[in-house]
Amino acid sequence: MAHDGWTSADLPDLSGRVVVVTGASSGIGEATAREAARVGARVVMAVRDPAKGERVAATIPGDVEVRRLELDNLESVQQFGRDWSGRLDILVNNAGILMVPEGRTVDGFERQIGTNHLGHFALTSLLLPFITDRIVTVASDAHGRGRLDLDDINWRTRTYRADQAYSDSKLANVLFSFELQRRLVSAGRETRAMAVHPGMVRTNLFGHATGIQSVVARIAGRLVMQQPREGAQPTLFAATQDVPGGTFVQPSGRGHLRGLPSLGTASPLAYDRELARRLWDLSAQLTS
């Protein structure tokens, strides 16, 4: 059920608040940054390509700053963390890649788990002492098809499947978000962590699709995909509304492909505490 018909037009005043958005130079990240700045937040756009980020920032009215962040390079993530000082209210772990050809990050991780999960895990860990309000991680309903193999998280012994690697990385996003919330509660912190599914959104994530995937993406784009501004609404809702930590926010429409933000339920595996704990420990080991 939609949450009282909430849209980004209902965003509260964020004056004096500091928001970091990863992947903020296009798609959902850009829309999130634009809307947060519109209602008064100081927005830090954490982007791979600062030149592109600056071009986008120039079109966003408000208090916007661009900083380099390469999530597939732990040195870049650590530098971003070292450079941070002062207030940070909301972290939006938005950046991601989708069904890319097999490849490795700078640190030797499979690209999708490395970028979508491990980079954000490291970033969140570094910024956590500063975060006063919440951490929103953009996942996907593809997490329901995730089957994380923690003995081969980087696909070194299995035959690579880009679609499965993507789903696994999105399951990791949700497991991480829920485990982070449990740890925040245990530590007596009021900071909240939550995950969102943005729905089907017309972004450049589908640029790598080939063959039948590209055909499906084009058809879906015409029939059901939302614009990035609509796709950003679950993120903005999770970042600003008084909902519990550990919440999963998704569109309210049929199949959760589009629609107004609503409180949903993630896949059963996403609530597996033992799997989440093991993933956390492995992620900490790999990114330390």
Active site residues: 166
144: burial class by Cβ within 10 Å (0-12, 13-18, 19+)? middle
CB 120 within 8 A of CB 22: yes
104: burial class by Cβ within 10 Å (0-12, 13-18, 19+)? middle
Report the C-alpha gap between 54 and 65 in whole angstroms.
Answer: 8
CA 24 to chain centre: 11
269 in the Ramachandran plot: left (φ > 0), alpha (ψ -120 to 50) or beta? alpha
Strands 248-251 and 261-264: antiparallel
**CA 187 → CA 20, 129, 193, 270, distances in Å?**
23, 12, 13, 22
User: Residue with structure tokens 């992947």?
Assistant: 23
DSSP count for the chain of H helices, then E strands? 10, 8
Comparing C-alpha atoms, which of 41, 143, 166, 159 is closest to residue 92? 41
